[in-house]
Structure 1
Amino acid sequence: MVLQTKLNVLVRQFLIGSFSALILIGCGQKKGGYIAQDEGESVVAIPDSVDFSLHIKPILSDRCFACHGPDKNAIEGGLSLHKAEDAYAAIGENKDRYAIVPGDLNKSELVNRILSEDPNLVMPPLESNLTLSTSEKELLKKWIEQGAVYKKHWAFVPPESPSIPNIDNDSWSQNEIDKFVLQKLGDQGFTPSEQASKEQLIRRAFFSIVGLPPSAEQVTDFVNNTTPNAYEQVIDSLLGTSDYAEYMAADWMDVARYADTHGYQDDFERIMWPWRDWVIHAFNKNMPYDEFVTYQLAGDMLPNASKESILATGFNRNHKITAEGGVIPEEYRIEYVEDRTNTFGTAFLGLTLECSRCHDHKYDPVSQEEHFQLFSFFNNVDEDGLMANAQVIPKPYINISKEEANGVLDFVNMTNTTKDVKVMVMQDMSKPRDAFVLNRGAYDQLGDQVHADTPEAIMPFPEDLPKNRLGLAKWLFHDDNPLTARVSVNRIWQRMFGKGLVESSYDFGNQGALPSHPKLLDYLAIKYRTEGWDMKKMIKYMAMSATFQQSSAISDEMREKDPENTYLARATRLRLGAEMIRDQALKLSGLLNPEIGGPSVKPYQPDGIWEETTGGGGGSTARYIQSEGKDLYRKSLYTFWKRTVPPPSMMTFDAASRDLCTVKRQETNTPLQALVLLNDPQLIEAARAMASKALVEDSLQGQIGYIFQNATSRRPDTAEMDVLQKFYEDALAKIESGEIIPEEYLAIGEYEPEISVSQETLTALSLTAQTIFNLDETITRG
């Protein structure tokens, strides 16, 4: 601990004094998509033609729908503003007034109330702490003047293929994506950025597609490759790797709320990793998205269902399960069904269905009855609400034998297991369980009986489909479903560009953001669907666009006019994700164990965390037993995930907790992140291994250059080299003075280098490597 304190001071002094650019990049979530709020006396320009979806719906949703929206039980004053017939209807005791009279401001009570200075009459009411800006009031007035035309929410209207913009003198575009982006840039008076350097481009491609950095040799080969399709060759090669499949699977673990424990008090261990192996397998063979989802929703219901398709339904059993004594089993069984229902809404529809559990949705046209109709699709599993003990495998489950892992399920890695494994899956009862509206969402407050169905506002359930999970999957991928393709392709865009065309990728409803490029989103959604839901093809299409290949450099003008890069006039600088930071260090150092699949492993983490939080029930999760040997260096995808105590370093870098379905992680910037980079034994050990590799170079400059180039994908310039050499010399001086003790520093971690060099030299070079690992440029995608 004393050594690490000294080390921290040394590194921080260097970073602060010489590398002011060591900043962890993060950005808070910001809701966008409609006319900005006024600041001070500024007024936003009012468009000539006011559009309900673009300009009015967001205002009503934010300021009015809580009391005048879809929830019929929350309506105040008998006024609902979410659809035209209600908004135009007579109100008041005598039905002699109207909130909105199309074309007539004087008779529209809404106008009088938003302009009123009477605190008892003004809308929104003062106690709501909501206000309307001058511009928003003018928008509402102009909309009424122009006829107060209502439109269905954009996301509930099936996408139609837009015409591709015809841009004069367009020498920039590489595919149709660029034409849509270029048209939008032109509307704003912006121009795209120049192409990123080849070093930046290959780095961005690697991190975006496989989550790992390119080697120095791969960068050099690409830079020296002058053939016209050199970049496309890189993209194709990356999409063909198992690294791609694992990186895609890591993202899907958040969506599927995967964990290695059941959650709740004692948080006993569960075996679900064979399902994770299936996900990797599905991405490896580029399973079409519609098939990928159908297997997970209803693989057990497919004609001639295979062991593989049944295993895939583990997706729906990844929720928490309690073993806590004294609970009411039926109450928790209902929670499991709710989890499956809400996961379906978030993952595939981009809707907050949980908001309609206790009452009609206050913002979106999903009633409480429709919520429980959808709930009934997932209500027929013969499961228990309470686990008896840690040894129980919650039913239903399947058994996977060693023989099957060597045959029909050869993608399941059972090399480190000595016996068969049991995995929770879906299996419906022969007779469907009755479902009811639950008053206030309470398990024991049964209301009207309901039957399986889907929300009318999204798409009525076709009569020719079975009312079960397989029928629901077919409904999801029906050509008339307005959400599935948009939601899915938006998340692919989010993966490639840092945020979706709809920034609120978790919410396509009335409270969500409007698409920054609505025509482009619809074009991509239709392309994705009509070309067979091919995920690799869509990723390549985005990667090949000029939009993706832009430089991330930003001018002062663009920082002021478009700080969030909404219009895509440049590439966005993105900090690496939690798993990528650790995996990058392992890859650079040569420590990374490339084994695919199998049981989860336990790399370094602070001592005692599990013991301090255990529920007292014993079992394998009562205390943390660190893995040994090569298991310490598996990809972060395979790190054991205890729900009540997730891996602390990854949580510091905004990994999802896996309690619930997550399709977009938080993006924070905290001092704890810097402390992880400075203190995590995995990173210190990786720096030592990296330094050991660099010693093949004859000179100090060569060694530092080797480390720097591998970490940042470029050579250091003269000034950077001078600073790093000075740091190395300072480190040697502190070693000589006893401020840093090589034996203690080199003892951190299990790796022992096989080199003949003094401890002093290795320590100084390792500290230099650790500093380079801490650079903003190293932990940024480019």
Structure 2
Amino acid sequence: MYRIRISAILLVAGVVAPALADEPTAEQLKFFEAKIRPVLIRECYGCHSNESGNVRGGLRLDSRELTHIGGSSGPAVVPGDVDESLLYNAIIHEDFVMPPKRKLPQNVIDDFRQWIEMGAPDPRVNEVIEIRPSISEEDIEQAKETFWAYQPPVSHAAPSVNNADWPRTDVDRFVLAKLEENELAPADDAESYKVLRRLCFDLVGLPPTPSQIEAFADRWKSDPDKAIAYVVDRLLEMDQFGERWGRHWLDVVRYAESTGREVNQTYPHAWRYRDFVIDSMNEDKPFNQFVQQQIAGDLMPAKTDEQWAENLVATTFMAIGPKNLNEANRVQFAADLVDEQIDATTRVFLGTSVACARCHDHKFDAIPQADYYALAGVFANMTTYFGNPPSEFGTITNAQTRQSSSLLRLPIDDPNPYDKRYTAKELQDLRDEMAEKQREIATLGRGSANSSGNAANAQRTRLRLLNEMSMLSAKLGVVDEDGNPRSYCMGVQERKRPSDVRLLVRGEIDQPAQSVERGFPQVLCSVQPDIDEDESGRLELARWIGSEANPLTARVMVNRIWQHLIGQGIVSSADDFGVTGQPPSHPELLDTLAVQFMQSGWSTKSIIRTITTSRVYRMNTAYDRRSHEADPDNAFVWRANPRRLDAEAIRDAMLSVSGEIDFERPRGSEVAKAGFTRVTGGVLGNPRDIARKAFESAGQSRRRMQRGSRNQIAEEVARKITGQLNQEDAKHRSVYLTIVRDEEPRSLSVFDFADASTIIGTRESSNTANQALYMMNNRFVIQQSEAFADRVIRERTSPNDRLEYAFLLAYGRPPTSSERTAAASFIRDFASTTGFRSRSKDTINALCQSLFASAEFRYLD
């Protein structure tokens, strides 16, 4: 393994600073030196410079970079934009008052305005600190030559085995050879109904139907191999396959419909990406194309508007991560956004956390800090669109949101299904209302006194107006000049005139060091790509990641597929293929599958077919003491891993068994219906506004709104009447439930649903008292138990047939004799305790709920 020298050398040099995008002219520099610098030194440096000691508000004005970065309230100067430059705002005493005791002369104020409008030319450049890496080129080359993950995968011939009758495929031969090498034997085949149940849940996330169970049992008797192959082919063609495997991918890419963090703002168009992922899985889109669309779809050629729209929607991957919209400093927000995008891209596709090198050379992997900023240069040259579509009045966000964004206009007519069409009068009324609020806010300087002389009241009025303007802007932004809905999506777009970024000492935005040329992590590249100076390099990055030249992409995806089907990855650390991750248990098998994956045209379905038709996949879960002592983690796969179903499969299985599942894809989501708004107290939008509308729709008076706590009433009414985030009455598949960060549906969160704020390659799988209580008391479970009972009563007449049918629906098998006895005893006890008749609907309800609550229903054996 390579060595990492831990000493970092900091050298002072004044020649490494990057050039300005537009070099200032001699006249502009003369203007700065004569009109601007003296005022800054005289009026500002005393409180806002490095030499002043305790810098007020974190603002330093003694260099160009620090002036642009600004302090805790945001950038002091935005070149060319007077309104966004807080320094100008302060010297005119609007939002801030600087200098604090007097106002600068008007001619000085005019000079600053002119300077900012001309692009704020400024020759003051910090002396640059050059950071020399502790990871040398020799270290990187040694890592390339010696570490398994950085070497190209190579196909291996299947090994010979002693038990030649057992294997059905090369997968079996690789696994059996490892078992025989460790003096272990594979478990016997599982029973046919268990194999079918495993296949159905793994491939489409649903239990087998009675007709599927009967047909599979007949085929199994004559030829188990052909029975499995037939079912696999049928399941792979079902639309439910994309919904099942699309949800796996949404875990990894941190899919959610809101920003999370302190100001939890909705993403009304996130559902488009969800549907893109599901459709891509169903189409068996080549995975390398799938990768490239998500990283650089906006830069890829498209033959039709529909293809172009799909490519734009795919880049939602870059925009959908969590965001701290309350961050005051735009430079910090931009740096954090790029960091999150780098982390997602490298961990999702490469199983490597390059983001660990943001503040220093990677502690373990051969990734110097400069490699992080080479990659940051690629991502920093794009604009991320995630927020509120711009109206004719611009993009306006609410008062709590300090960072805002627009959306991408789609080239096709495909509006959000819940966007309203406005008549000419309605549209004009909205415009008039917006214009009136703009006039009102123009008369209110932030922090100034209103007509009553109360500055606090003026501030409250201003915040109210901003929030109301944000709501109006959201309504106006989604329609054209005729009031018809426009079509938008989240995503990214390339900026003009790309440039390199500066390395930041310890990752601090106010400590820039040398400029770093755009590029990719050296340890993963045999040859660095040639990035044109007029391009960011993002398209080249996408093509490189989705290519056979990359040693990790195919391995990482094949490993994810193996994990979902077998229960544990060949590399158990699915998101970490680095030095601190786990080595592969079957390295030759992993590489062979990766090569097959690429040779198949990057077909996900082909790898799934290869694994599910193997003898390894159909082994039973029987415990063997000797094997367990030799391999307690089952790394060598001597038996099948017993697995608890994930949250979506449990919910979908209840809907399927009850017969109430709705297989039609819902268009949009509850977030799409609510629009661009804030999530407050588990409610989409302002709880008081929702409550008012709910009371009015129910014929209640406003007076009742004033009784007790308005917020309490609002939240209760919003939850009970709108049911926005509860979704207990929804009947569609769980992949279509609204996923708002920190507000996941109870039916999912109680069963270890993926944390939507992080990259989840492997979910937790717990067995807790809360889960048992949920299955006993939750309204959704009780509803589905009643529907299950109704189905059993409707489709079977005799008590014995009903019991057999209930077990077949829930477990994929008939009850055993002991279970028949236990069920009869349960019915008698329940009837005597409650006073219901043994054949009453309530008694059968209770029996059906007990089947749902059992461990066998929640686990794959």
The residue number in structure 1 matching 2:555 is 486
2:645 touches 2:860 (CA, 8 Å); kept in 1?
yes
CA distance in 1: counterparts of 2:769 and 2:287, whole angstroms: 39
1:593 touches 1:631 (CA, 8 Å); kept in 2?
no
The residue number in structure 2 matching 1:331 is 332
The residue number in structure 1 matching 2:504 is 438
- C-alpha displacement of 1:179: 0.6
- C-alpha displacement of 1:720: 0.8
The question of 1:726 aligning with 2:833 is answered no
1:196 touches 1:550 (CA, 8 Å); kept in 2?
yes
1:239-258 alignment to 2 at 5 Å?
239-258=236-255
The C-alpha deviation readout for 1:596-620, integer Å capped at 9, x for no partner, is: 2522249xxxxxxx76467997688
- The amino acid across from 2:397 in the alignment is N
1:588 touches 1:690 (CA, 8 Å); kept in 2?
yes
1:571-720 alignment to 2 at 5 Å?
571-601=640-670, 612=681, 624=719, 625-626=722-723, 632-695=730-793, 696-720=795-819
Give unmatched runs, 5+ long, in structure 1: 1-56, 58-64, 75-79, 88-147, 406-411, 603-609, 738-757
- The amino acid across from 1:378 in the alignment is F
The residue number in structure 2 matching 1:539 is 608
Return the match for 1:404 from 402, 407, 413. Answer: 413
**TM-score (ref. length: structure 2):** 0.67
CA distance in 2: counterparts of 1:693 and 1:736, whole angstroms: 23
CA distance in 2: counterparts of 1:509 and 1:521, whole angstroms: 16
CA separation of 1:471 and 1:629: change in aligned 2, threshold 3 A: closer
The residue number in structure 1 matching 2:43 is none
Q: What root-mean-square deviation, in Å, do the aligned CA atoms of Structure 1 and Structure 2 show? A: 3.3
Secondary structure, aligned partner of 2:181: helix
The residue number in structure 2 matching 1:261 is 258
The residue number in structure 1 matching 2:217 is 223
The residue number in structure 2 matching 1:130 is none
The residue number in structure 2 matching 1:363 is 364
The residue number in structure 1 matching 2:283 is 285
2:262 touches 2:324 (CA, 8 Å); kept in 1?
yes
The residue number in structure 2 matching 1:45 is none
Return the match for 1:235 from 208, 232, 237. Answer: 232
- The amino acid across from 1:775 in the alignment is S
- C-alpha displacement of 1:161: 1.8
CA separation of 1:704 and 1:601: change in aligned 2, threshold 3 A: farther
Return the match for 2:183 from 184, 189, 207. Answer: 189
**TM-score (ref. length: structure 1):** 0.73
Secondary structure, aligned partner of 2:492: coil
- The amino acid across from 1:423 in the alignment is C
CA distance in 2: counterparts of 1:629 and 1:185, whole angstroms: 47
CA distance in 2: counterparts of 1:457 and 1:730, whole angstroms: 68
- C-alpha displacement of 1:680: 2.1
CA separation of 1:150 and 1:377: change in aligned 2, threshold 3 A: closer
The residue number in structure 2 matching 1:473 is 542
CA separation of 1:706 and 1:390: change in aligned 2, threshold 3 A: farther
The C-alpha deviation readout for 1:272-299, integer Å capped at 9, x for no partner, is: 1112111111112110100111111111
The residue number in structure 2 matching 1:102 is none
| Max Rg structure | 2
CA distance in 2: counterparts of 1:574 and 1:182, whole angstroms: 22
The C-alpha deviation readout for 1:553-588, integer Å capped at 9, x for no partner, is: 122322333232111111111100011111111111
CA separation of 1:377 and 1:732: change in aligned 2, threshold 3 A: same
- C-alpha displacement of 1:478: 3.2
CA distance in 2: counterparts of 1:333 and 1:774, whole angstroms: 48
- C-alpha displacement of 1:638: 1.2
Secondary structure, aligned partner of 1:528: helix
Q: Which moved more, 1:557-566 or 1:529-538?
A: 557-566
Structure ranking higher in helix proportion: 2
CA separation of 1:266 and 1:478: change in aligned 2, threshold 3 A: closer
Give unmatched runs, 5+ long, in structure 2: 10-132, 389-395, 422-484, 672-678, 691-713
CA distance in 2: counterparts of 1:363 and 1:723, whole angstroms: 57
Tell me: higher relative CO, structure 1 or 2? Use CA pairs within 8 A at least 6 residues apart: 1
Secondary structure, aligned partner of 1:490: helix
- The amino acid across from 1:661 in the alignment is I
1:486 touches 1:525 (CA, 8 Å); kept in 2?
yes
1:89-238 alignment to 2 at 5 Å?
152-225=146-219, 226=221, 228=223, 229-238=226-235
Return the match for 1:452 from 505, 514, 518. Answer: 518
1:167 touches 1:179 (CA, 8 Å); kept in 2?
yes
CA separation of 1:82 and 1:773: change in aligned 2, threshold 3 A: farther
CA distance in 2: counterparts of 1:278 and 1:759, whole angstroms: 50
2:374 touches 2:520 (CA, 8 Å); kept in 1?
yes
- C-alpha displacement of 1:420: 3.8
1:291-310 alignment to 2 at 5 Å?
291-304=289-302, 306-310=308-312
2:254 touches 2:757 (CA, 8 Å); kept in 1?
yes
CA separation of 1:331 and 1:244: change in aligned 2, threshold 3 A: same
Aligned residues: 619
CA separation of 1:86 and 1:506: change in aligned 2, threshold 3 A: closer
- C-alpha displacement of 1:254: 1.4
Secondary structure, aligned partner of 2:522: coil
CA separation of 1:528 and 1:690: change in aligned 2, threshold 3 A: same
The C-alpha deviation readout for 1:180-201, integer Å capped at 9, x for no partner, is: 0010010011111121111011
CA separation of 1:180 and 1:584: change in aligned 2, threshold 3 A: same
CA distance in 2: counterparts of 1:773 and 1:437, whole angstroms: 56
The residue number in structure 2 matching 1:778 is 857
Return the match for 1:427 from 485, 493, 516. Answer: 493
CA distance in 2: counterparts of 1:164 and 1:413, whole angstroms: 52
The C-alpha deviation readout for 1:643-679, integer Å capped at 9, x for no partner, is: 1322233222111121122222122232222222222
CA separation of 1:71 and 1:297: change in aligned 2, threshold 3 A: farther
CA separation of 1:421 and 1:394: change in aligned 2, threshold 3 A: farther
CA separation of 1:149 and 1:427: change in aligned 2, threshold 3 A: closer
Percent identity of paired positions between Structure 1 and Structure 2: 29
- C-alpha displacement of 1:347: 0.2
Secondary structure, aligned partner of 1:447: strand
